[in-house]
């Protein structure tokens, strides 16, 4: 089978791009020929990961096709991301006998898949994130175009938490966990037992970086023992503001490392004892890749008490021993909780067999959905009662 993935993709950072990378590998390992169409090369430098191409250009069974970065200046001038994606995808479909398109994120990738499908007859499935539902679908942006895009899909891939957002569309809805890390890469067998803990923040640093609780992390660091090490890995348009705030914080020296590609994340997580996943008044709640991956790698995940664990319950098996709940509004409370947890910690056994079962269910469900789109399994209009399958 020849599959075209239309999505954010490395060297673009972020959860959608990372999931698309691991999905491409999942398809390729099943013997499919995978063609990825992306515009990461045209993205702002604050959101690109350096040094990706030697790896992604040599993956067996996966070929990356990027849009033309440059475009003639004209009035009114704009980047034309959608037109570039459609043109590149049309070339890929024509030259590689594509059987199905797998699109992630509604705008512009889902819309591009719809247009390519209309022009070529190739079926497509569409996946979503969290921000695209909030910013576009629920906000009524591009209302008629998104309606046509969603109703033209062979299937909408969603999960029980977001199924209601698509209740008005006569399109089959296929339930699938947003993401499940592959235990072949994300596992605990190579973890180090550190004498003193390594703490980690991994993620974007945008204008509203306080919503990730970064100011509260900074405030608790001087209250921790001197031999504890904090590692910051991230980029974004709020980076200068964050570093400026850190410079004014007593006892805080921040050395910020740039984004790393998805395939290097497992090693980073296995070297980390605590991974911060705080959320303070976040208007858009999205699935956290970092939470899922850290759980698989045996790191303790630091969250605030409002964190919703429902999505991650299969990973935790009803045992939240890998999760440390803290009062995120109180830096002293965070520091006390970390010190107490480290002093009383127990080395948790690796749950390799359970993770393997979860990933296998996730893998098979992805294959079932993509093959179903080709074989017209999803031809009948779907009601709420007709939504199928879940690996949660």
pLDDT interval class at 385 (50, 70, 90): very low
Q: Where are the alpha helices (DSSP H) in 253-377?
A: 265-270, 289-296, 313-316, 331-344, 352-374
Mean pLDDT of the chain: 90
pLDDT value at 392 more than 80: no
Q: How far apart are CA 90 and CA 65, in angstroms?
A: 11
- Model confidence pLDDT, tens digit, residues 336-348: 999 999 998 766 5
pLDDT at 312: 81
Q: How far apart are CA 101 and CA 110, in angstroms?
A: 10
53 closest CA partner among 68, 63, 45? 63
Q: Which of 39-48, 69-78, 238-247, 347-356 has the lowest mean pLDDT?
A: 347-356
Whether residue 243 is predicted with pLDDT greater than 50 in this model: the reply is yes
Give backbone dihedrals phi and psi of 65, rounded to 5 degrees, phi first: -120, 115
| Pairing outcome for strands 198-202 and 229-233 | parallel
State the span(s) of the chain assigned CATH 3.40.50.2000.
2-179+359-386, 198-344
Q: What is the dihedral of CA 56, 57, 59, 61, to 10 degrees?
A: 120
State pTM to two decimals.
0.93
Note the CATH architecture for domain 2-179+359-386.
3-Layer(aba) Sandwich (3.40)
Among left, alpha and beta (phi > 0; psi -120 to 50; other), residue 265 is alpha
> For 95-119, what is each residue's pLDDT tens digit?
999 999 999 999 999 999 999 999 9
- Strands 2-6 and 274-276, bridge-based pairing: unpaired
Percentage of the chain beyond pLDDT 90 is: 73
DSSP 87-143: HHHHHHHHHHT--EEEEESIIIIIHHHHHHHHHH---EEEE--SHHIIIIITTTTTH
- Is the per-residue pLDDT at 218 higher than 60? yes
| Structure confidence at residue 253 (pLDDT) | 80
More confident residue, 194 or 341: 341
pLDDT tens-digit profile of 10-60?
A: 999 999 999 999 999 999 999 999 999 999 998 888 899 999 999 999 999
Provide the pLDDT for residue 389: 58
Q: Tell me what pLDDT residue 307 has.
A: 81
Q: How confident is the model at residue 197 (pLDDT cuts 50, 70, 90)?
A: very high
Tokens found for residue 374 = 């080709």
* Residue 259: other Cβ atoms inside 10 A: 25
Q: In the structure encoding, which two tokens stand for residue 382, read together? A: 């779907």
User: Selecting from 3.40.1000.10, 3.30.1490.20, 3.40.50.2000, 3.30.365.10, what CATH number does the domain 198-344 have?
Assistant: 3.40.50.2000
Residue 214 has pLDDT above 90, yes or no: yes
Question: How far, in Å, are 152, 232, 373 from residue 247 at the CA level?
Answer: 51, 14, 53
């Amino acid at each position: 089978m020849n599959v075209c993935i239309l999505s954010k993709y490395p060297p673009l950072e972020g959860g959608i791009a990372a999931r698309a990378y691991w999905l491409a590998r999942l398809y390729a390992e099943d013997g499919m020929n995978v063609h990825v169409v992306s515009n990461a090369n045209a993205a702002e430098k604050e959101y690109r990961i350096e040094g990706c191409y030697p790896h992604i250009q040599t993956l067996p069974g996966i070929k990356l096709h990027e849009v033309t970065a440059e475009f003639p200046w004209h009035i009114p001038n704009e980047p034309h991301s959608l037109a570039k994606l459609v043109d590149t995808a049309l070339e890929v479909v024509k030259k590689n006998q594509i059987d199905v398109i797998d699109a992630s994120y509604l705008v512009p990738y889902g819309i591009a898949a719809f247009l390519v499908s209309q022009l070529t007859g190739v079926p497509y499935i569409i996946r979503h994130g969290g921000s695209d539902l909030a910013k576009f679908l629920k906000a009524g942006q591009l209302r008629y175009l998104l309606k046509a895009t969603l109703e033209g899909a062979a299937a909408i891939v969603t999960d029980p938490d977001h199924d209601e957002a698509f209740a008005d569309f006569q399109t089959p809805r296929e339930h699938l966990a947003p993401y499940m890390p592959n235990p072949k890469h994300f596992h605990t067998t190579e973890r180090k037992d550190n004498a003193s803990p390594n703490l980690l923040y991994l993620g974007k640093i945008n204008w509203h970086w306080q919503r990730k609780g970064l100011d509260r992390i900074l405030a608790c660091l001087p209250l921790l023992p001197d031999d504890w090490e904090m590692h910051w890995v991230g980029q974004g348009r709020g980076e200068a503001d964050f570093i400026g705030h850190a410079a004014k914080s007593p006892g805080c020296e921040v050395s910020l490392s740039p984004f790393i590609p998805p395939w290097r994340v497992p090693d980073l997580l296995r070297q980390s004892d605590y991974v911060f996943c705080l959320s303070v008044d976040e208007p858009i709640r999205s699935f956290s890749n970092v939470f899922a991956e850290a759980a698989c790698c045996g790191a303790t995940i630091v969250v605030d008490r409002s964190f919703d664990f429902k999505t991650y319950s299969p990973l935790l098996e009803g045992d939240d021993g890998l999760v440390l709940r803290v009062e995120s509004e109180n830096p002293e409370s965070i520091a006390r909780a970390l010190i107490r947890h480290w002093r009383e910690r127990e080395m948790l056994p690796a749950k390799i067999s359970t993770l393997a079962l979860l990933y296998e269910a996730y893998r098979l469900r992805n294959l079932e959905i993509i093959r179903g789109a080709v074989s017209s399994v999803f031809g009948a209009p779907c009601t709420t009662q007709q939504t199928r399958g879940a690996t949660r």
